[in-house]
Amino acid sequence: MNPVLASRLANIAPFHVMELAKMAAELERQGRSIIHMGIGEPDFTAPPPVIEAATRAMADGKLQYTSATGIPALREAIAAHYQNVYGLQVAPSRIIVTAGASAALLLACAALVEKGAEVLMPDPSYPCNRHFVAAFEGLAKMIPSGPEQRFQLSDAMVREHWSERTGGVLLASPSNPTGTSIPHDELSKIVGTVREKGGFTIVDEIYQGLSYDEVPFSALSLGEDVIVINSFSKYFNMTGWRLGWLVVPEFMVPQVEKLAQNLFICASSIAQHAGIACFSPQSLAIYEERKAEFKRRRDYIVPAMRALGFKVPVTPDGAFYVYADCSSISDDADSLTIAMLNEAGVVLVPGLDFGPYTARQYIRLSYATSMENLEEAMARLNKFLVRIRR
């Protein structure tokens, strides 16, 4: 007889993007050509200086557990990056190296989410966020956030939805799935409100290096009490290495350290040694070139999607996503993405993953693929749309 599974599993939804990826893989096995614009993963991989540092770490036998908070040289390199790029002084002791932003989010939620407490977040949001909260028996309160709010929470919305059950807010800027950022003044007001209420603010800055229009800033500039998540997966092109970090107030460090010791022991030691090389001038020059390429793609794809008849009500200013309103084409984004996969060979993700508010009306496109692929995808979608509009 099978064991009885924990009831909390009922609160965890599958990741539809992965289901579509599985369907796409099956079509590829049958010999179909598929263009992938579903999963949010850079098409670039770690640059040569990072690969060399990883190879060196292996040759030098740096292959054992590290301390749970990460190797000091990497924590110092991250702190120096905050100083060099954002003019911010962040003590290395406040930086905890993790297995990607995923582990950082898990640690932050483990440390802050009380059983039964509400955590405010926009709808749409990164799907795992509500599940991290659910894993610790908190309640993700998803607040409908449309294009008028750049799909983000405003200070007024935080005030309106705060109750005595609210523990804090979980935000991402730039956001997945919308690629939109929270303006500095608005975020500053939100942090002030949450502080006044005695709650916590977690800001996921995983797409921070990929900001195309505004002068980028870190929420760390708004006070030591703001908890910041970051990662080597996106700007640093290291998805499979599983490396990220969390910045917490000094008083939380021993608490998060004991959680990290118990939950993970440490992040991959090879990845940590390689991660230091991300901050060398050679690597940063490569990353900035790649960022310029992402911006070039964004500037191509947004008008191209609009020309096809999708509405893109807010031009994304960061990350590598376009969140497009498909309601003039179909009233069911889910079946539209399945038809686009089967008939046009293009993978896009329905809004369903990101929360109920925009589930049927929106699709997410990831432009983390070559210009050639993007142009081919637009041509295929054009043919598909001409066919279904007949």
Ligand X SMILES: Cc1ncc(COP(=O)(O)O)c(C=O)c1O
Residue closest to ligand X, measured at CB: 100
Q: How far is the CB of 42 from ligand X (least distance, A)?
A: 10
User: Nearer Cβ to ligand X, position 108 or 381?
Assistant: 108
Q: Are strands 244-247 and 35-36 parallel, antiparallel or unpaired?
A: unpaired
Interface residue with ligand X, options 11, 102, 269, 330 (CB under 6 A): 102
**Token pair 């992040």 is at which residue?**
267
User: Nearer Cβ to ligand X, position 218 or 239?
Assistant: 239
User: Nearer Cβ to ligand X, position 106 or 252?
Assistant: 106
Q: How far is the CB of 275 from ligand X (least distance, A)?
A: 12
Return the amino acid letter for 45. T
Interface residue with ligand X, options 231, 283, 337, 366 (CB under 6 A): 231
Q: How far is the CB of 128 from ligand X (least distance, A)?
A: 7
Q: According to CB under 6 A, which residues from 135 to 164 bind ligand X?
A: none
Interface residue with ligand X, options 239, 268, 272, 366 (CB under 6 A): 239
Closest residue by Cα to residue 24 from 348, 326, 327, 319:
348
Q: Are strands 362-366 and 321-325 parallel, antiparallel or unpaired?
A: antiparallel
Task: Check binding of 204 to ligand X (CB under 6 A).
Answer: yes
User: Nearer Cβ to ligand X, position 172 or 194?
Assistant: 172
Residues 6+ apart with CB under 8 A from 385: 308, 309, 329
Q: How far is the CB of 245 from ligand X (least distance, A)?
A: 10
Q: Which residues pair with 349 in a beta bridge?
A: 364
Task: Check binding of 40 to ligand X (CB under 6 A).
Answer: yes
The number of helices, as runs of H, and strands, as runs of E, in the chain is 12, 12
User: Nearer Cβ to ligand X, position 96 or 101?
Assistant: 101
Count of residues in contact with ligand X, rule CB under 6 A: 13
Q: How far is the CB of 327 from ligand X (least distance, A)?
A: 24
Contact 182, 207 (CB under 8 A): no
Q: How far is the CB of 351 from ligand X (least distance, A)?
A: 15
Q: Is 227 helix (H, G, I), strand (E, B) or coil?
A: strand
**Token pair 């598929």 is at which residue?**
34
Interface residue with ligand X, options 47, 100, 350, 351 (CB under 6 A): 100
Q: How far is the CB of 295 from ligand X (least distance, A)?
A: 18
Closest residue by Cα to residue 153 from 109, 113, 117, 120:
120
Task: Check binding of 263 to ligand X (CB under 6 A).
Answer: no
Residues 6+ apart with CB under 8 A from 73: 276
d(CA 134, CA 115): 9
Q: How far is the CB of 176 from ligand X (least distance, A)?
A: 4
Binding piece for ligand X, criterion CB under 6 A, among 22-30, 62-70, 94-102, 183-191: 94-102
Closest residue by Cα to residue 246 from 65, 100, 71, 119:
100
Total number of residues shown for the chain: 390
Contact 283, 50 (CB under 8 A): yes
User: Nearer Cβ to ligand X, position 40 or 47?
Assistant: 40
User: Nearer Cβ to ligand X, position 13 or 307?
Assistant: 13
Binding piece for ligand X, criterion CB under 6 A, among 99-107, 336-344, 351-359, 372-380: 99-107
| Torsion on CA atoms 301, 302, 304, 307, rounded to nearest 10 | 170
Binding mask 159-178 for ligand X (x = CB under 6 A): -------------x---x--
Strands (DSSP E) found in the chain: 35-36, 95-98, 118-123, 139-144, 166-172, 200-204, 227-231, 244-247, 321-325, 346-347, 349-350, 362-366
Task: Check binding of 244 to ligand X (CB under 6 A).
Answer: yes
d(CA 194, CA 204): 16
Q: How far is the CB of 226 from ligand X (least distance, A)?
A: 16
Binding piece for ligand X, criterion CB under 6 A, among 70-78, 97-105, 146-154, 194-202: 97-105
Q: How far is the CB of 271 from ligand X (least distance, A)?
A: 11
Q: How far is the CB of 138 from ligand X (least distance, A)?
A: 17
Residues near ligand X (CB under 6 A) are: 40, 100-102, 126, 172, 176, 204, 206, 231, 233, 239, 244
